[in-house]
């Protein structure tokens, strides 16, 4: 296992990583069609979201460019004795590398790494059946200054973060581009926004990470996060934004809110 994958796994197992998946699952549960729906998890990594959905009876496909991540996904699904289709592909090659249509397409925690995320998400929409769902989770640019000020106690870095969309990730040791929910919805005029959530509205602004490992504290934090997820204005400042969009019928013109 590479060092990056080890750091990724540690992040997933940390309280803040667990919250990311619990909250995504709770948000999606409000919108998903009854199982079995076909779910395509783009850049699905080691399959953490897809596995939750497979456990709920959905028929899942995980696409990722990393052989190591897909091997982790294969292992996780084998252990759970659940079926999965794994496709090794770069999202730049969509839609050719993956067959559609799917009832639900996920693009979770990936657009920050992509050279042209708008084009990739539009290609992803082409893989969704009319009326189907696109779920996008991404790092929220608005959270970056707050995180520097409160988590890192670094107001100078917070000030600098106000005027840039570039940031660094320690997990994958690379530079990434931050976005806002408004930017992403503007890229997708053929989709109707049916859910706008925040993931981790307060967790990243509590500087004491040790406290988050205390089960009683974490249980309270999780209850709070689940309650804040769709209560404006908290989603606007959460560490991740989570958008659920419905693909319109191409014959109907712009998609209507439903």
Number of H helices and E strands in the chain, helices first, is 10, 9
Cβ distance to ligand SAM smaller for residue 25 or 183: 25
On whether the CB atoms of residues 173 and 208 are closer than 8 A, the answer is: no
C-alpha of 179 from chain center: 13
Q: Which of 5, 16, 53, 64 binds ligand SAM (CB under 6 A)?
A: 64
Element (H, E) at 182: helix 181-187
The nearer residue to ligand SAM, 38 or 255, going by C-beta atoms, is 38
**Residue 197: Cβ within 10 Å count:** 26
**Which range in 64-72, 143-151, 181-189, 218-226 contacts ligand SAM by CB under 6 A?**
64-72
Q: Does 69 bind ligand SAM (CB under 6 A)?
A: yes
The pattern of x and - marking residues 71 through 90 that bind ligand SAM according to CB under 6 A reads -------------------x
Question: What sign for the dihedral angle of Cα 77, 214, 25, 21?
Answer: negative
Q: What is the DSSP letter of 94?
A: T
Instruction: Among 35, 92, 186, 227, indicate the residue that binds ligand SAM (CB under 6 A).
Output: 92
For the window 106-125, what string marks contact with ligand SAM as x by the rule CB under 6 A?
--xxx--xx-----------
**Which CB sits closer to ligand SAM, 71 or 158?**
71
Stretch that binds ligand SAM, among 45-53, 178-186, 190-198, 243-251 (CB under 6 A): 45-53
The rounded distance, in Å, linking the Cα atoms of 191 and 214 is: 41
1-23: b (≥16 Cβ within 10 Å) or e? eeebbeebbebbeebbbbbbbeb
19 binds ligand SAM (CB under 6 A): no
For 218, counting Cβ atoms within 10 Å of its Cβ (0-12 exposed, 13-18 middle, 19+ buried), the class is middle
Shortest Cβ 254–ligand SAM spacing (Å): 28
Judged by CB under 6 A, does residue 43 bind ligand SAM? yes
Number of residues that bind ligand SAM (CB under 6 A): 17
What does the binding site for ligand SAM look like in residue numbers (CB under 6 A)?
43-45, 48-49, 64-66, 69, 90-92, 108-110, 113-114
């Amino acid at each position: 296992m590479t060092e990056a994958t080890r750091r990724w796994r540690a992040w997933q197992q940390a309280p803040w990583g667990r919250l990311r998946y619990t909250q995504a699952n709770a948000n999606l549960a409000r919108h998903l069609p009854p199982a079995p729906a076909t779910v395509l998890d783009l850049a699905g990594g080691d399959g953490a979201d897809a596995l939750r959905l497979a456990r709920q009876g959905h028929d899942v496909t995980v696409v990722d460019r990393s052989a190591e991540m897909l091997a982790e996904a294969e292992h996780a699904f084998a252990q759970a004795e659940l079926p999965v289709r794994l496709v090794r592909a770069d999202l730049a090659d969509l839609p050719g590398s993956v067959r559609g249509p799917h009832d639900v397409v996920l693009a979770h925690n990936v657009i920050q790494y992509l050279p042209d995320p708008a084009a990739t998400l539009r290609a992803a929409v082409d893989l969704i059946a009319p009326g189907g769902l696109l779920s996008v989770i991404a790092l929220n640019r608005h959270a970056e200054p707050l995180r520097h000020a409160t988590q890192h106690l670094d107001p100078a870095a917070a000030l600098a973060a106000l005027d840039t969309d570039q940031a660094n990730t320690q997990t994958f040791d690379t530079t990434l581009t931050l976005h806002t929910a408004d930017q992403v919805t503007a890229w997708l005029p053929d989709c109707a926004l049916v859910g706008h959530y925040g993931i981790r509205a307060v967790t990243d602004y509590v500087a004491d990470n040790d406290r988050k490992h205390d089960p009683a504290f974490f249980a309270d934090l999780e209850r709070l996060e689940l309650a804040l997820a769709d209560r404006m204005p908290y989603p606007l400042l959460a560490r991740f934004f989570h958008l659920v969009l419905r693909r319109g019928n191409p014959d109907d013109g712009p998609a209507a809110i439903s």
